Structure 1
Amino acid sequence: MVDADDRLDFEFEDPIPVAPPITKRKKKVIDLDDLLEAHKKEQKKINEKISKQRKIRKVYDMEDEADDAAEARLSECVDKCQKEINQINGDEELRLWGIRVFGENENLPQQDYPELKTSHLLQSLTNQKISSLVELNIEEGETFLDGLLVDGWLLHLVYTSGCVEKIIATWTFNLMLYSPKVLLMEAACEFWCAILSRTNKDDLSSIRIEWLPRYSDLKTALLSYGYLLDSPAKVSTDIDMIQSDSETTGPPQNIRSWMKCAASCCQIRNHTRLFSVREAEELLAVFISFVLDRQLLGLSIVMHEAMLSVIRFFRDEEWLDSCKKVSKSLAYRLPCDINCLRVVESITGTEGRCKQLRSALAFQFLLTCLNKKVCDPEEILQMLISINVKDKTCDLFKIYIYLNLVENWLSFDETLKDKSVLHELWGVCLRNFSCGVTITDLRPYASNVRSKASYLLQGSMRK
């Protein structure tokens, strides 16, 4: 039991704190002087803050100016180094090959052939049962023959009859060279290439052709295409490589068929001679000049095959003289700059005639570049040896051209391989060029000349 005198539990708890009585403060009276003093203090803080910001901004501006000056000096140094590197590499003076071989096209002739209605081939078809099956209308004979040509049936009919009528021959020939319709143009080209190929086979399967094209027909078409290098009076220096925006400028699409047809005409000489030797020389010069027109880059394979066909046209007793004539003609008409190297290097192939033509072209271009009329090989090399490449006025681009031309001339002329005197002189010339142009020479084409001469010198020493 709990004793009555004992204290209760709540009596042992802490006493509840009592808040002290709130004393009322007297409001301080703020007069005008206090407000002015507070304003001055606040304005002083603001001025100090503005002054500090100005100092910080000034420091930043000085740092920015220092950075800009350092960046400008660095940029100037980089530009100077880049310019020196460009001069060493000769990139600024790198020249592109290419001239305009084709100018404005003439209006390609589009002829009507009413005589086709009376052709023996068409008449034979109308007299047969096939005319009732296909309901052939004699008044639409040319349209019907267009379909036969495109589908390849015209060639089969000619093979069956064993004869190509004159009207059929001239009609398909003009379609090949002048038709704006791609299907007709290509079909006519295939027709003629097949006919000429079969004619070249001197056997019983050959067919009779009442009309064959001549060089004058091909030349007329070429001139209508706007060919610019036909006349020597039109010197190549007057022709630039700037292409016009006109749709009538440059080679037409028919130029591919023209090349194929010209090549096929050259291939049938054993059976039928369509070109004279002089005409074949002119045709070869035309094909070689084509390599300078950048618009014909897509036809490089066709051009090369056609060029080989023309080269093989000549008899052995005709070739050497014709090779010299073609080389002189091209060296006279084409520029003696990077374009002449393009022309020389475009003559590729392992055939002896290709090598002879490449060597002859290089030699004639070299004579033209040096303004030499004398063809003595030793005299030419002595002249090159006498050139002082250390002279700052020496045009190293011309030296680069000379190096490449002499290399092609001596390397591909089989008759000069045993002439040790020429090779000794050539070695002296290469040493002069490789040693005379130092590695610190910053002239345009200096590195090209030095590298080329050193490379050729090492090759000559290994032989």
Structure 2
Amino acid sequence: MDDRLDFEIEDPLLTSPVVAKKRKKVIGLDDLLTDFYKEKNKLVEKEAKKAKALKNYHSDEEEDIKEASLSKLVDECQNQITEIDADEDSFVWGMQVFGDQKSPPPLVCPELKSCGLLQSFMSNKLNSLVELSTENGNSFLEGLLVDGWLSKLAFTCGHVEESVLIWTFNLMLYSPKEELRISACDFWCAILSSKEEDDLQPVKITWIPSYAELKGALEVYGFLFNFLPHPDATLTDSGREGPAQNIRAWIKFVTVSCHVRSKLSMFSTSDAAELVEVIICLFLDRKLQGLMLLLYDCMQSVINYFKDKEWKACCEEIAKSVACRVPKDLNCLRIVECISGVDTRSKQLRSAVAYQILLSCFDYKVADEEILRLLISINVKEKGCDLVKMYIYLVLTENWLCSNELLADKPVLNEMWNLYLRNCSCLIASTDLRPFASKVRNKASYFLQGSIQT
């Protein structure tokens, strides 16, 4: 009976527990001090965190400033190095040796129709099958030339007529058709070589081309005989700048012609001297870089064309002429380097050319020991010192002295040469950023090491 009814159990007012009243706590002085110091510590920690964050911010700014300044310094160094490389790359060898080509002479040879070789074929019984006539005689001979039968007929008969010789010579020098000029060149080389080879029957020829014909071919190719223009000279816009493709056959013919002097003298001494100058100048044309081996062989052949009693005087004259024509820049070093033979005559010519160019660099006011004294007196540490010229002087002097026997005959020159090398290698610092500073220092060190070893 005392239990509550169901609706009384569901009533939240009747079921909620009685909340006990809380007693108020008494706050003492110690509690107030504790709360005060806690709040103060929080402020101190907050200020410390703020100061630390501010310090880190300024540290990042300093790092950014340092990184920016370092990047700027690196960029400046890179720009300086780029400028130095650009200055050194601007000094490149190469000159315009050929101007505009001229119109070649006609390749038609009227006398060819009456040559005995063609007439013998026309009168042969087999001509009834091929029906050869004077109108297509040139085509028939061109076929014989390209197929190699013309040279075989020459060796079989033992002689070649003048009209055939002139015709093949003109084809070699002026024909625009590659197969004709190559075949004509091979034909002439085979005939001339037969006079030197013992196992071949010498072919009798009634006409020999002279240097005038070869010089005339160079004029048609546009070769500049009288002077070499400045390397910055602009080419014409005519589209006919030399050299012609026939220059390869021209070089081969000169090489073979000089080989056979003992049996067939085709050039005078003055002609051969001018040929040496021409070939040296051809080394300056960058268009002929693919013919370097042919030019080297031709150079050696022409140098050996002279007799011993002719060579000494001709060597000096060639050197003087070349020194007057070449500019005093890296092209003159190219001239000296192209005379690269190790034989006695090549060394003599290389030494003579280098010496004459050195004299022209100093306007012929000093000579021999005075050149070395003047070079030693140059202060390479000065900012105004032209290290490009110093590099040219260094290479020219080395070729002048070391390609000759002067160092062995004159010990004084050897001592002065070593002193000059020490000046160039020791007085130029490795951190010197002037154009050609490293080239002068490294080249002098290389020469000095070789001089000490010898």
TM-score (norm 2): 0.81
Deviation at 1:290, TM superposition (A): 0.6
Deviations 1:10-29 (A, max 9, x none): xxxxxxxxxxxxxxxxxxxx
* Partner residue in 1 for 2:440: 449
Deviations 1:255-304 (A, max 9, x none): 00011111222122111211110010000110011111000001111111
Deviates more, 1:130-139 or 1:330-339: 130-139
3-state SS of 2:136 partner: helix
Indicate whether 1:397 and 2:401 are aligned. no
Deviation at 1:75, TM superposition (A): 5.0
* Partner residue in 2 for 1:149: 145
* Partner residue in 2 for 1:299: 291
Contact 2:107-2:175 within 8 A present in 1 as well: no
Q: Distance in 2 between matches of 1:198 and 1:163?
A: 12
* Partner residue in 2 for 1:414: 405
* Partner residue in 2 for 1:48: none
Change (3 A) 1:170 1:445: same
Contact 2:95-2:230 within 8 A present in 1 as well: no
State the one-letter code of the partner of 2:300: L
* Partner residue in 2 for 1:331: 323
Q: Distance in 1 between matches of 2:68 and 2:103?
A: 60
Q: Distance in 1 between matches of 2:159 and 2:215?
A: 26
Change (3 A) 1:401 1:239: closer
Deviation at 1:74, TM superposition (A): 5.6
Q: Distance in 2 between matches of 1:97 and 1:238?
A: 11
* Partner residue in 2 for 1:187: 183
Aligned pairs, how many? 395
Contact 2:320-2:356 within 8 A present in 1 as well: yes
Indicate whether 1:383 and 2:378 are aligned. no
Deviations 1:31-78 (A, max 9, x none): xxxxxxxxxxxxxxxxxxxxxxxxxxxxxxxxxx99998887565333
Contact 1:98-1:241 within 8 A present in 2 as well: no
Deviation at 1:133, TM superposition (A): 3.7
Change (3 A) 1:203 1:212: farther
Deviation at 1:241, TM superposition (A): 6.4
Deviates more, 1:92-101 or 1:277-286: 92-101
* Partner residue in 1 for 2:18: none
Match of 2:356 among 360, 364, 368: 364
Change (3 A) 1:201 1:439: closer
Contact 1:433-1:449 within 8 A present in 2 as well: yes
Deviation at 1:220, TM superposition (A): 0.3
Higher relative contact order (Cα pairs below 8 Å, separated by 6+ residues): 1
| Paired residues for 1:36-435 under 5 Å | 73=69, 76-86=72-82, 90-94=85-89, 95-201=91-197, 205-228=201-224, 230-231=225-226, 234=227, 236-240=228-232, 246-375=238-367, 377-435=368-426
State the one-letter code of the partner of 2:433: L
Q: Distance in 1 between matches of 2:388 and 2:96?
A: 22
Deviations 1:162-189 (A, max 9, x none): 2211111111100000011111111111
Deviation at 1:415, TM superposition (A): 4.6
Deviation at 1:330, TM superposition (A): 0.7
Q: Distance in 2 between matches of 1:400 and 1:358?
A: 17
Q: Distance in 1 between matches of 2:64 and 2:294?
A: 59
Contact 1:410-1:417 within 8 A present in 2 as well: no
Deviations 1:99-131 (A, max 9, x none): 011111111222322321111111112222332
Q: Distance in 1 between matches of 2:152 and 2:430?
A: 69
Change (3 A) 1:418 1:121: same
3-state SS of 2:185 partner: helix
Contact 2:118-2:137 within 8 A present in 1 as well: yes
Q: Distance in 2 between matches of 1:160 and 1:459?
A: 57
Q: Distance in 2 between matches of 1:194 and 1:204?
A: 10
Q: Distance in 1 between matches of 2:139 and 2:235?
A: 37
Deviations 1:139-166 (A, max 9, x none): 2111111111111111111122222111
Change (3 A) 1:67 1:430: closer
TM-score (norm 1): 0.80
State the one-letter code of the partner of 1:137: S
Gaps of 5+ in 1: 1-64
Deviates more, 1:199-208 or 1:257-266: 199-208
Deviation at 1:326, TM superposition (A): 0.9
Q: Distance in 1 between matches of 2:310 and 2:201?
A: 31
Q: Distance in 1 between matches of 2:390 and 2:314?
A: 29
